[in-house]
Structure 1
């Protein structure tokens, strides 16, 4: 029985890619800029694993003998959103980015959408979710009109007070939107954004739900389950893949809960993949340009790494990476087109191997596929043989 554990630190980028200027992200470097502005990061475990060896990060020292193997990955797909990044890790390269709507969605679509749901809407603009919730929340409560908005990402977001539009109705409204957003309007995700509270103090609840599009082809997840192994998903992984190839999933209420639920899966005996997304880095801190909060979240994750490595079995392999950037030190509140870090640790693996710059995120998926002994798709090049220890299985 062998297992791979893949933890995605959502939005923890490690430097602008060469084409970042095309996305308005020149100079973005989520990890380095946070560390510089915060006066350093207290992340001794990630540091020991070799995070500072992967790329230069202020106040994060390279190690002479890193405990893990290290490198960084370039995104080959077009775009910089969550789905694109996760899909690429599992073998899908997108030649065309999902559509975005910097001026809001077409008026004729909004009218048809309102007719379908039986309610008028508010907003239809590019906005920060927390800002638009405070600005239009009271009018929403008074009128019962849901708030619709988007961002620089390919999303159609619908916010509603749980006391005004019950969760069941909000989810049905989102399902209708997902059904209608096709063709040129086919956004990557429709997102339910429920909230509670009073005017001036509205707070999102943890009942968010993403309605994604299906992956356009079979992914690593499908290959694993077809081989009779398990894919155990933590956090929004199930939403990102629309349930395709997922054996079992559990939601999480923040990073800490996501780590705890990952540990629960690790205590089981299922061969295959444990796939975790830690969304707070992105949703709570990156999009809100909260540098201090982001730094503290990185430090909190770092503090729990010994729990994760301590519970690993001899044949387990842990992969830590990210799906894009979201630099909170820039004026933008959107994702950033960045390289992502790559740390690989296993009790039987070699240590301190410099994996360098990987050509695409799919290299990670190809490596997991080879290790689990499942058929891989056409994209990606495995680096498993570079890491394999003398006692590691073929």
Structure 2
């Protein structure tokens, strides 16, 4: 019985991509800067070849470990673009982006809204959270990524009401042919700018992807299990079972449980751990980012003995250098760390190497 585990460390890039300057990200290096400035050590990832991937020397590696660096071929540096390419879908045309959404579009979605400009999630709540409580209107905003985000108070506005509104936004965008990668529901709690805090009840409504390796696995009888926001990123396409999570710690616990339980049917567990990006990258918090990486590395040390002869792959979907200017993702290469891979990954490949490795492991073409 074959099985595989793919873990995406959201935003854990390993150095500026060759075309980073085209995206305003020359010099970005998420892992490199954390190693240099925060005395970061990740001994268990090093056992899979991380130091070699970073060009920071050599370390003893586990038998069967192999590493590479990958450059994104698709035009973009957002979560959806990165994950789709990891699953074998290269975007030749970037998703649509906005600095301000057309008023008639917002009216059709269900306005009135507050905001309608580009901002970080914490900034938008500081600026408009209290007005939202007074007026009751949800807050719409965007970023450099292809996203339409709607924030609302989880209790005062209502969580279900926010999810329905975001689902409506997805439907309107699709009907108009506007290729926004994700509509994101951003619920929060608190009663003032000083106490507002986003909750873990976020929900993403993604554009429907073309066929990916996930669909092909399902067609071949391989069970596909999403952990974290994977099902959201692929709009449920190719995902047979989904386990949303509230944090990295929750995600790692779910991975452990699934790995221990599922031993009869061929399956792929495809997990996203988002705290690196959501809590620390976008907030430009290098100390928190480094701490989060250490926590994952400690967990990995305990999990590696459970892998046995099965296929493990750890990678990322883009960068988010906490030492870089701004608060958006950074166009970076990403590490590819494998254990018991069906063939040695190439060091000059694009993200679709992940799809090829997974397909080959399950004997698909």
3-state SS in 2 of match to 1:11: coil
Q: Distance in 2 between matches of 1:277 and 1:231?
A: 14
Distance 1:69 1:304 in 2: 20
2:293 to 274, 290, 298: 298
Alignment of 1:162-177 (within 5 A): 162-177=154-169
Of 225, 229, 237, the residue aligned with 1:232 is 225
Where does 1:1-394 land on structure 2 (aligned, <5 Å)? 1-38=1-38, 40-57=39-56, 61-63=57-59, 65=61, 68-101=65-98, 103-113=99-109, 117=110, 119-182=111-174, 183=176, 185-199=178-192, 200-216=194-210, 218-267=211-260, 268-269=262-263, 270-314=265-309, 316-346=310-340, 355-375=345-365
CA distance in 1, matches of 2:178, 2:68: 36
The two structures have a TM-score, normalised by structure 1, of 0.88
Q: Deviations over 1:12-38 (max 9, x none)?
A: 001111111111111101100122221
Partner Cα distance (2:329, 2:177) in 1: 22
Encode CA deviations 1:112-166: one digit per residue, 9 max, x unaligned. Answer: 33xxx2x411110100101111221110011110010000100000000012211
SS at match of 1:88: helix
More deviation, 141-150/64-73: 64-73
Aligned residue number for residue 390 of structure 1: none
Q: How many residues align?
A: 360
SS at match of 2:116: strand
Q: Is the 8 A contact 1:193 1:209 kept in 2?
A: yes
Deviation at 1:359, TM superposition (A): 2.0
Structure 1 unaligned spans of 5+ = 376-394
Q: What whole-Å deviation, never above 9, does each CA across 1:327-349 have from its counterpart, x for those lacking one? A: 11011211111110010013x98
SS at match of 1:92: coil
In structure 1, C-alpha distance between the alignment counterparts of 2:113 and 2:104, rounded to whole Å: 13
CA RMSD, Structure 1 to Structure 2 (Å):
1.6
